Structure 1
Amino acid sequence: MAGGNAGCGSVPRSGAREILRGDFRMNFPSLRRALTALLMLTALPLQAREPVEHDELEASLAVPYQADNAGGRELVIELLFPGGSAVAVAWQLQIVDAQGRLQREWTGSAAAGDRRSRLALRWDDTDAAGLPLQAGIYTARLATLEGTPEQLQQGLAAVEVESALANPVRLPQLQQWDFVVGPLPLAAMPSFEPMPLAGSTSWLRAASDGPPYAIHFGNLHSQTNHSDGGGDLSTCNNAETPQAGAFGPAAAFAYADAHGLDFLMASEHNHMYDGRANGVSASATPQFANNLYADGLAQAAAYSAAHADFLALYGMEWGVTTDGGHLNVIGAEGLYNWEYNSSNQLIGSFYTPKSDYAALYSFMRGQQALGQFNHPDTSGQFLVASTALGYSSDGDEVMVLTEVLNSSAFSVNTTESETSRSSFEGAWKRLLERGFHTAPASNQDNHCANWGAAYSNRTGVLVPAGQPLTPQSFRTALLARRVFATMDKTAQLLFSSGERIMGMRFANSSALTLRVDYASSSGHLPSQVQIYEGVPGRNGTVTLAASTATPTLNPAPGEHFYYAKITQDDGKSLWSAPLWVTQLDPADAIFRDGFF
């Protein structure tokens, strides 16, 4: 990052400011101090300009789960703005305890550019008064604001009154991770015979007394040279010029297959089939775009046919990040687009109006396509009726997945050890509260030629044991939301209520018994188990319902959803698909414990 600078400061010893309402609110006075320092960096080439694709800040936070031998840990913030010109970033890092009480805070400022910058802070696990924190589980929370220094300074007051959408400053981007102070707690778990892994011999067994499913691990978010991916690892640092990357879909499938994945989706940006990342090429032709998309489908089908143990998928990443939001369209037979050339010809097979998500969902439903929300933001994206992450019944039918974690889109790591990772669990919670029935996904958004190898995270899809992984069986599993997300490809998670497993919707008229099962083939242990509860359509807040693996709950009559989260002894997490429960009032129930 050319000209980058960062400042750190601690909370005054007189006391820490309490967290305000909701998941996280920023301490604006401390951010203003950071911005004042940033405004002094007059040499930085921070210019206001029109936003283009990939004008999006990648801000990640890495927190060691346990303290090191010296009794402390290094907190690392990584910033990347791949759009080109540098942007100003004000950041705030807070440590809160299990009750949400603020223990420590730092603020700073930096300039983020198209080379990843690393801001490291050594911390000795003490609070604002310099006293050692008591043993327990804590949360580190990072908030960042981006824009020019002047925009940020002018926009902070608007953010405070929640009207920043009318300002050029972006709303806060939030990241948070749990960690342990003191002795490592271990969660009590029921005995669990692991499900077999597809293509593996380490966990294969007779499944007579266990779940009749096999797990298929893969990555549902990547690009090749059909859009702005496929960059050679020796030179890749950013998005490639569309169609200029070194490697195409067949190379991506072969790479992922060789690195142990069971499936990979090449999800090409739908508006780049004209050879441009931004704007429209006047000379682009529908024939070229449609032929390229058809070629991608053909490459996927050919690779799958030649490799029975691997499912190659080809589709599109639809939308733009500014005034839009990216989502993957799975199972589309033709290219969806909104761009026209100078001859008023659509550069694609089907017209879908830009950033009109209600219309897109309706069209996808008619086409029997499925969708995944990609790296969703809680504000300004996926607008329906002017509401971010807005609900529609068509959207609920077609959107089956939401990314809860991505590794860096421009990573060149090939040892599954990428340190820059982003969490979107907060946006997933909001989508569930809106009423969407989506399962969690954990992908890599690879733009460089390291498909699936950047990090150890995977999306796990459950297919009946003994059934081959085909486009049909994969689609059936996604529709059933038989999916979990993991940061560790050697771990698995199953969430159930009796014989009902994650992804199901059912009615219940008595006490609700839940069960979380976990297994690791690499010797890891569960440090924390959490079961979260919410209400579809309430648009409220998801809350922690239980911190044990086998709780019995007594839900109020009405609609509920529950999902499980496991945090391992190394800090890596797993998320289950929800169970959606209609709790009946026993006095009014006509039927009991029925499936629907």
Structure 2
Amino acid sequence: MRFLSGLFLAATAMAFSATSHAQVIITQYYEGGGTNKWIELTNLGTSAVNTASPQLRLGLWAVAGSAGTINITGAPSQQMDLNFIIPAKGSVLIGTPANGTEVPYLTSASAAQTSSAVMNFNGNDGVALMDGSNNIIDAFGTGINAVDRSYYRNLSVTGASAGFTISEWTMATLAVVQGAAMGNPARLNYHLDNTCVAPAAAPASAVYYSITANSIGGAFSSVTADEYLVLLSTSATLSALPQNGVVYNNGNVIGNATVINRSANNIFYASGLQPSTPYYFFIFALNSNCMAGPVYLTSQLLTTTNVTAATPQPGTALTYFGNLHSHSSYSDGNMDDPTKTPADDYAFAKESMCMDFLGISEHNHTGAGMSLSRWQPGLAQAAAASSASFLAMYGMEFGVISEGGHSIIYGMDSLMGWEPNQYQRFVERGNYGGAGGVFETINQHGNNAFVYLAHPESDDYNNLFSNAYSAAADDAIVGTALESGPANSTSIGYNNPGSSMAFLNYYKILLSKGYHVGPAIDHDNHNMTFGRTARTRLAIISAQLTEAAILQSMRQMRFYATQDCNAKISYTINGQQMGSVMLGTGTPVLNIGWETSSPVSSIRVMAGTPGSGNLPVQIANLSGNNLSYTDATLANFSERYYYLEITEDDGSIIVTAPIWYTRVDGTVASGGFTAFTAMNQPTSVLLKWSTIDEDNNAVFNIERSTDGGRTFAIIGSLAGKGSAAVTNNYSFTDNHPFADQAYYRIRLTDADGSVQLSLQRMINRSGIEKTAFNIYPNPVEAIANIHVYSRAGGIALITIYDMAGKQLLRKNMPVSSGQQVLALPMLSLTSGSYIATININGTQVTRTFYKK
């Protein structure tokens, strides 16, 4: 039987102390014949110590010959960095590579570390334990001569001493040390009685945080133990138990069960499971930071079981959990191991609990380590890491904190920036709301590109929170983070969340000003912790786990922030789900359902008036199951937004995106507009609108103004659907858009000749390129399909460069006005990143791509 498992402690099973200096001391000095030299170090603490982090050193103060007494002053004559683990209450030896068998129970291999230089001491040479700055922590020998003898530390000593005190030590002859039995403190490699015993109790209970068709994850109550061993089986009973003294690793088989976790973390997670199948988890407590370990408590164990979910039906809207704010070594991430790449980070996240997607949002400037040459490889690695069950995305974190703040951007095919030769789309540093700024660039790009605000501050984004409402900002921004980090956390135990809802008030401010935004939670990972610092997640409701579907759901604000990574929230008003902007007859009826890890203790219904400047307030506090709530106070022709703040019994908080509801009772003209949007596409403008209660609609005329909205001309028409009492959706593409600022509106004419006009929508295409092209597929294999749009016919000069700027290929190809696809062979290029430029009629555009 074989299970794929999410590993929580891949490299080591010990929890290392960050305060190791105080608990490590020198406990024995042995100056034998010839090269037989030993130093014993003992860890007095209750947690293991990694002597390399923080760094510990051993120093030697050597003098000529062997006469005279030891004097430890000034700098050491020799020193060595230590690099080994000392178990709790355990001892280790440092020796010379040439140590023989003078001590019959030791060989040179008994040493945890050796040195010919530092361990080359005589009886008048001092030895000291030092920190990484060469400060003495513990010293041996000042004022004595220890030639041909051994000294061991008295058991009454409980801490280090930078000054040598002879009364703390007992002198022993070499013969006594050589014959010392186990239990005698004169014996080398033994100081404290640290024989392993089994823990006194086993974990008592478990809770499940994540159950999907292919995975189960959760946590269990902790006990006094060094570690836990978690076994997984499809059988309700075990055919074999773990054996004392045997170290088991993830994937090992014990009878009819498989090891899925051995660590100090009280978390378990298994993936690669079968849908609709019961699985059993067997959890043992063990002690390992001791001699003759590990020792398992097998007389008591926790057995818990659950069933994987059924395979979801195609097209069903599901809730996907993940994080869109993280960093790899391509900018300033992977600080714990800079050799890792985005591909490694996605692989790690894929095996984390409650992680359906990971977005790596690299800083967009070289000051944080990013460069244009890394953009395309990052996109390629994201595409390669994505599968039916996991989505890898690659975006950017724009800006610097000191000049406008940070924002998270996805859906852009080009790196935005301001540094020469390090961007594909120029956006000035700190420019969010101005001409050519972040918001305008996102809106011009279209194609579901979006920005959301990361760890916001009051004066960020060109004073967005204090300035008047901006339609351009509203079109670009989909949300703001309510919680973030800790950015530099190294925890992988799901137990180190950021400050709870620290940025919630900024969400409320944006809603009060009239912005249409949803709430996010960020991890801002800078180490290999993706998905494992905490159970907090961004939850996105989508019919598919694809980049296009997730981008669309974010644009539609079908998402919420949750501190419970298994919280599935259903929230609608009159049948429309969270994120909707709607008109309706009668009072709004809120329907709420949920599936959470811990019982829900309260649901606060928050409401406010868009654009009023007044923060949302609580209008109800609900409890119970699958609730319905009606706001009878909303007057006719009034608008209000509603969102939920849900609290679970364990304190976890969930905040949903709002629903914006305008009440219109029986007075909407036939075919009343419920929504109208205009969005820039690379070569066109896409218009979308919805109507309610159509009855006798005849025609929709699409009108455009190029003189600031003073006069309008018809650019197209659509017939009405004429269906009563339902919402109808329409779209129209302006394939010949105006090159600058234009206004759009829809004129609805009924069969009886009555007319109704929509609101106006402004589009600015002054920054849209006259020539546009994209390379597909990307990464490229044998042939690159170059999708080109040109406003006029002519000759396209296509040039390919390597990332150092060396020209590799140059080709002229005829193009006509409009869109077309040019096929360019790529067989001569080796695997790697390249830059492509296309020049048509003097207009040049640049793209990067990756060749497989």
Report the TM range for the smaller structure's normalisation. 0.5 to 0.7
Runs of 4+ in structure 1 off by over 3 angstroms are 194-208, 386-391, 585-596
Measured against aligned partners, the alpha-carbon deviations of 1:16-36 in whole angstroms (never above 9, x if no partner) come to xxxxxxxxxxxxxxxxxxxxx
Cα pair 1:439 1:576 within 8 Å, conserved = yes
Matched, 1:471 2:564: no
Secondary structure in 2 aligned to 1:394?
helix
Cα pair 1:231 1:247 within 8 Å, conserved = no
Relative to structure 1, the CA distance from residue 197 to residue 539 in structure 2 (aligned partners, 3 Å threshold; closer, same or farther) is: farther
Consecutive unaligned residues in structure 2, runs of 5 or more: 1-208, 216-274, 276-306, 673-692, 694-724, 730-852
Mapped to 2, the partners of 1:218 and 1:430 lie a distance apart of 25
Mapped to 2, the partners of 1:252 and 1:494 lie a distance apart of 31
**Structure 1 equivalent of residue 358 of structure 2:** 264
Measured against aligned partners, the alpha-carbon deviations of 1:56-109 in whole angstroms (never above 9, x if no partner) come to xxxxxxxxxxxxxxxxxxxxxxxxxxxxxxxxxxxxxxxxxxxxxxxxxxxxxx
> Which structure features the higher share of strand residues?
2
Secondary structure in 2 aligned to 1:450?
coil
Matched, 1:449 2:520: no
Cα pair 1:506 1:594 within 8 Å, conserved = no
1:46-195 pair list within 5 angstroms: none
Measured against aligned partners, the alpha-carbon deviations of 1:296-347 in whole angstroms (never above 9, x if no partner) come to 111111111xx331111111000122241211110121211122xxxxx342
Relative to structure 1, the CA distance from residue 510 to residue 205 in structure 2 (aligned partners, 3 Å threshold; closer, same or farther) is: farther
Identify which of 292, 309, 320 aligns with 2:374: 292
**Structure 2 equivalent of residue 546 of structure 1:** 620
1:271-420 pair list within 5 angstroms: 271=365, 274=366, 276-277=367-368, 289-304=371-386, 307-339=387-419, 345-358=420-433, 359-368=437-446, 369-377=449-457, 379-383=458-462, 388=466, 391-420=469-498
Mapped to 2, the partners of 1:381 and 1:215 lie a distance apart of 31
Mapped to 2, the partners of 1:195 and 1:500 lie a distance apart of 27
Measured against aligned partners, the alpha-carbon deviations of 1:433-479 in whole angstroms (never above 9, x if no partner) come to 22222221122111111011100011111122xx4x11111122212
Cα pair 2:213 2:311 within 8 Å, conserved = no
- AA in 1 matched with 2:322: G
Matched, 1:532 2:614: no
**Structure 1 equivalent of residue 588 of structure 2:** 512
Consecutive unaligned residues in structure 1, runs of 5 or more: 1-193, 234-244, 279-287, 340-344
Cα pair 2:511 2:610 within 8 Å, conserved = yes
Relative to structure 1, the CA distance from residue 199 to residue 380 in structure 2 (aligned partners, 3 Å threshold; closer, same or farther) is: farther
- AA in 1 matched with 2:424: S
Mapped to 1, the partners of 2:519 and 2:467 lie a distance apart of 15
**Structure 1 equivalent of residue 509 of structure 2:** 430
Mapped to 2, the partners of 1:483 and 1:438 lie a distance apart of 10
Matched, 1:440 2:519: yes
Relative to structure 1, the CA distance from residue 388 to residue 255 in structure 2 (aligned partners, 3 Å threshold; closer, same or farther) is: farther
> Percent of aligned positions with the same letter in both sequences?
30
Cα pair 1:415 1:455 within 8 Å, conserved = yes
Relative to structure 1, the CA distance from residue 447 to residue 589 in structure 2 (aligned partners, 3 Å threshold; closer, same or farther) is: same
Relative to structure 1, the CA distance from residue 450 to residue 383 in structure 2 (aligned partners, 3 Å threshold; closer, same or farther) is: same
Q: Give the deviation of 1:580 after TM superposition.
A: 1.1
- AA in 2 matched with 1:551: Y
Relative to structure 1, the CA distance from residue 197 to residue 533 in structure 2 (aligned partners, 3 Å threshold; closer, same or farther) is: farther
- AA in 1 matched with 2:601: S
Relative to structure 1, the CA distance from residue 429 to residue 459 in structure 2 (aligned partners, 3 Å threshold; closer, same or farther) is: same
Q: Give the deviation of 1:414 after TM superposition.
A: 0.3
Q: Give the deviation of 1:510 after TM superposition.
A: 0.5
Q: Give the deviation of 1:538 after TM superposition.
A: 2.0
**Structure 2 equivalent of residue 112 of structure 1:** none
Mapped to 2, the partners of 1:206 and 1:292 lie a distance apart of 37
Mapped to 1, the partners of 2:213 and 2:473 lie a distance apart of 31
Relative to structure 1, the CA distance from residue 381 to residue 444 in structure 2 (aligned partners, 3 Å threshold; closer, same or farther) is: same
Measured against aligned partners, the alpha-carbon deviations of 1:501-560 in whole angstroms (never above 9, x if no partner) come to 11111102211111221212x3x1111111111122222211112112421113133222
Secondary structure in 2 aligned to 1:539?
coil
Mapped to 1, the partners of 2:451 and 2:649 lie a distance apart of 33
- AA in 2 matched with 1:348: Y
TM-score by length of 1: 0.57
Identify which of 559, 569, 582 aligns with 2:649: 569
**Structure 1 equivalent of residue 708 of structure 2:** none
Q: Give the deviation of 1:206 after TM superposition.
A: 8.1
- AA in 2 matched with 1:219: N
Matched, 1:220 2:300: no
- AA in 2 matched with 1:537: G
Secondary structure in 1 aligned to 2:414?
coil
Mapped to 1, the partners of 2:400 and 2:508 lie a distance apart of 22
Number of equivalences: 365
Mapped to 2, the partners of 1:203 and 1:393 lie a distance apart of 45
**Structure 2 equivalent of residue 155 of structure 1:** none
Q: Give the deviation of 1:387 after TM superposition.
A: 5.4
Q: Give the deviation of 1:370 after TM superposition.
A: 1.1
Relative to structure 1, the CA distance from residue 196 to residue 586 in structure 2 (aligned partners, 3 Å threshold; closer, same or farther) is: farther
Q: Give the deviation of 1:594 after TM superposition.
A: 6.5
Cα pair 1:509 1:589 within 8 Å, conserved = no
Measured against aligned partners, the alpha-carbon deviations of 1:246-292 in whole angstroms (never above 9, x if no partner) come to 42211111111011311101111112xx2x349xxxxxxxxx92221
Cα pair 1:433 1:537 within 8 Å, conserved = yes
Secondary structure in 2 aligned to 1:382?
helix
Mapped to 2, the partners of 1:376 and 1:391 lie a distance apart of 17
Identify which of 477, 481, 487 aligns with 2:563: 487
Relative to structure 1, the CA distance from residue 207 to residue 498 in structure 2 (aligned partners, 3 Å threshold; closer, same or farther) is: farther
Relative to structure 1, the CA distance from residue 216 to residue 406 in structure 2 (aligned partners, 3 Å threshold; closer, same or farther) is: same
- Pair member with larger Rg: 2
